[in-house]
Structure 1
Amino acid sequence: MNKNAIEGKVVFLTGAGSGIGRATALKLSKLGARLALSDLNIESCRETAKQCAGGPHQVTLLNVAEYKRCIDTVKDAIGYFGRIDHVFNCAGINPTARDLVDCSEDYFDKLVAVNLKGVYNVTKATIPYLRSGSAIVNVSSICGVHPHKQMAIYCATKYAIIGFSKSMALELGPKGIRVNVVAPGYIETPTNASVMAGEEALKKTVEQVAIGRMGKAGEIADVVAFLMGDESRYMNGSVVEVNGGTG
């Protein structure tokens, strides 16, 4: 990674309080980026900022499902930094494996509001401030590429992210703004369903991965940084699967 491609850039980053969001914030800060960090858990977001190198960095409480709040948060970031160069839409809700008949309307609404509408909200709010050379990276999932039983609603949101991102790549590409997607596989984060389910569930998950282990959040962060850098300058509308070899 060419540090100069990220150094001094301002990145608007959601879901920064933990997992892939925090790992990406740490990665980008080491490369010299200035970060507008947001999360629904403000204390976790502040902890991320403390761990980041460089700065200044901004920390904001944000529920990405609330459009007006997204507009206001983006305006606050512009007021703080003067610009936004890149966007990382990482905020999301992990799934709970359950048959569709056992899924409530509230569960459906919550996943769609955060995982899908949240990306729409932040993307729409930031577009007026982006310029040629900017990059948007959205987080889909292995569940947005391959169907999984008992995860129909989550899969629907993550498949939708890919369609949305590819359409935005066509819309924004002529302006010099690239939109790409990272699709993580089984990543070792505190909210991962296999991790929370215990050792036996974790073992079954690992058996599905050719490399033979769960991924690390930092390994996704490396790809996000690449997608924002000059080395990926001809990538637009791409979906990068980072899953250790998972069928």
Structure 2
Amino acid sequence: MSQTPSQQPERAGKERISPPKQQQSEPGLDLKMQPKADHGERSYHGRERLAGKRALITGGDSGIGAAVAIAFAREGAKVALAYLPSEEPDAQAVATVLEDAGVEVHHLPGDLRDHSYRDTLIDEAVTALGGLDILVNNAGKQISVESLLELSDEQVEETFDVNIFAMFTLSRAALQVLPAGGSIINTTSIQAFDPSDHLMDYAATKAAISNFTKSLASQAAQRGIRVNAVAPGPIWTPLQPSHGQPIEALPEFGHDTWLGRAGQPVEVAPAYVFLASDEASYVVGATVHVNGGKNQP
């Protein structure tokens, strides 16, 4: 007899979570989540694969961005974090982990919808870090809306502004400063390939990111710069309880994957480390799927 997801044993060495119904105001804080997400604070151990490299990570205060920042730091990279000012408590918590690892960390708070901020962010990162080798375009806006009839133009514009328009701006500026061997890594999503009807605007931006990644990869390769993407599936981050999912869906979030559970940010970070490292020197225009076995191309 086949087992239902609730009866299935723990798989892949991670505990399945069933978060209680909860809701935060956007953008949400990891510090208020129940349970807290695992960014690899105690479990990620580096091997100096990014020694000497300098990275800017947008959305670096929590969730996938925080896990990437911790992994990069423990792999020897210097890190600059871009995040909303309201996310400062999470950013400080991440910075403590990075500093404990003996890694230099720089805070560059601001709103990617603000053109004056995003137009100067790459230059600020270069000044802070003394150069730039890696850009991780990770910041995202995700708001669940049941029907297109309730989806406002304002939300659509804000979602596109943060998720894809800012990516054009930052990548354009990064191409002017990244050296040959540099790397741009974009966060797309399972939503680009298997969209949920309540995430219509978010899914559309993630599909755009997937295509943008391939187009930019072709151009940037001529400069010796590699552009790739990571497509996470259901990962437990502050996006989910801050209106990113229907509140009633949270207890079973991610239970429909082949592994029967949501992923943790620490499980996504190694994909970014690989793509940023010299081990991926011949990987260009690729999308690494980290989704627990959901449908993908």
**TM-score between both structures, scaled by the size of structure 2:** 0.78
Give the counterpart letter for 2:181 in structure 1.
Answer: G
- Per the TM alignment, residue 139 of structure 1 is displaced from its structure 2 partner at its CA by 0.4
> Corresponding residue for 2:190?
142
Cα-to-partner distance string for 1:27-73 (whole Å, 9 max, x where unaligned): 11111110011101334323221221222211011222233312322
Q: Distance in 1 between matches of 2:47 and 2:181?
A: 16
The answer to whether residue 174 in structure 2 is matched with residue 126 in structure 1 is yes
> Corresponding residue for 1:174?
222
Asked whether the equivalents of residues 65 and 121 of structure 1 are also in contact (C-alpha less than 8 Å), the reply is: no
> Corresponding residue for 2:153?
105
Q: Distance in 2 between matches of 1:232 and 1:209?
A: 28
Q: Distance in 2 between matches of 1:56 and 1:111?
A: 31
Single out whichever of 66-75 and 11-20 deviates more from structure 2: 66-75
> Corresponding residue for 1:49?
95
Asked whether the equivalents of residues 126 and 132 of structure 2 are also in contact (C-alpha less than 8 Å), the reply is: yes
Q: Distance in 2 between matches of 1:177 and 1:243?
A: 26
Asked whether the equivalents of residues 46 and 71 of structure 2 are also in contact (C-alpha less than 8 Å), the reply is: no
Q: 1:226 aligns with which of 265, 269, 274?
A: 274
Single out whichever of 106-115 and 69-78 deviates more from structure 2: 69-78
| Secondary structure of the corresponding residue to residue 244 of structure 1 | coil
The answer to whether residue 283 in structure 2 is matched with residue 235 in structure 1 is yes
The answer to whether residue 72 in structure 2 is matched with residue 28 in structure 1 is yes
Q: Distance in 2 between matches of 1:29 and 1:63?
A: 24
Q: Count matched residues.
A: 246
Q: Distance in 1 between matches of 2:148 and 2:97?
A: 40
Question: Matched residues, percent identical?
Answer: 31
Gaps (5+ residues) in structure 1? none
Which structure features the higher share of helix residues?
A: 1
> Corresponding residue for 1:114?
162
Cα-to-partner distance string for 1:112-132 (whole Å, 9 max, x where unaligned): 110111211211222211011
Q: Distance in 2 between matches of 1:168 and 1:221?
A: 22
Q: Distance in 1 between matches of 2:124 and 2:251?
A: 44
Structure possessing the higher radius of gyration over alpha carbons: 2
Single out whichever of 228-237 and 47-56 deviates more from structure 2: 47-56
Q: Distance in 2 between matches of 1:237 and 1:34?
A: 25
Give the counterpart letter for 2:136 in structure 1.
Answer: F
The answer to whether residue 203 in structure 2 is matched with residue 155 in structure 1 is yes
> Corresponding residue for 1:209?
257
| Secondary structure of the corresponding residue to residue 168 of structure 2 | helix
The answer to whether residue 47 in structure 2 is matched with residue 3 in structure 1 is yes
Q: 2:82 aligns with which of 18, 33, 38?
A: 38
| Secondary structure of the corresponding residue to residue 240 of structure 1 | strand
| Secondary structure of the corresponding residue to residue 211 of structure 1 | coil
- Per the TM alignment, residue 196 of structure 1 is displaced from its structure 2 partner at its CA by 6.3
Cα-to-partner distance string for 1:159-195 (whole Å, 9 max, x where unaligned): 0001111100000001110110101000011321599
Asked whether the equivalents of residues 82 and 110 of structure 2 are also in contact (C-alpha less than 8 Å), the reply is: yes
> Corresponding residue for 2:39?
none
Runs of 4+ in 1 over 6 A off after TM superposition: none
Gaps (5+ residues) in structure 2? 1-44
Q: Distance in 2 between matches of 1:230 and 1:2?
A: 15
Single out whichever of 110-119 and 59-68 deviates more from structure 2: 59-68
Give the counterpart letter for 1:174 in structure 2.
Answer: Q
The answer to whether residue 103 in structure 2 is matched with residue 59 in structure 1 is no
| Secondary structure of the corresponding residue to residue 179 of structure 1 | strand
Asked whether the equivalents of residues 42 and 60 of structure 1 are also in contact (C-alpha less than 8 Å), the reply is: no
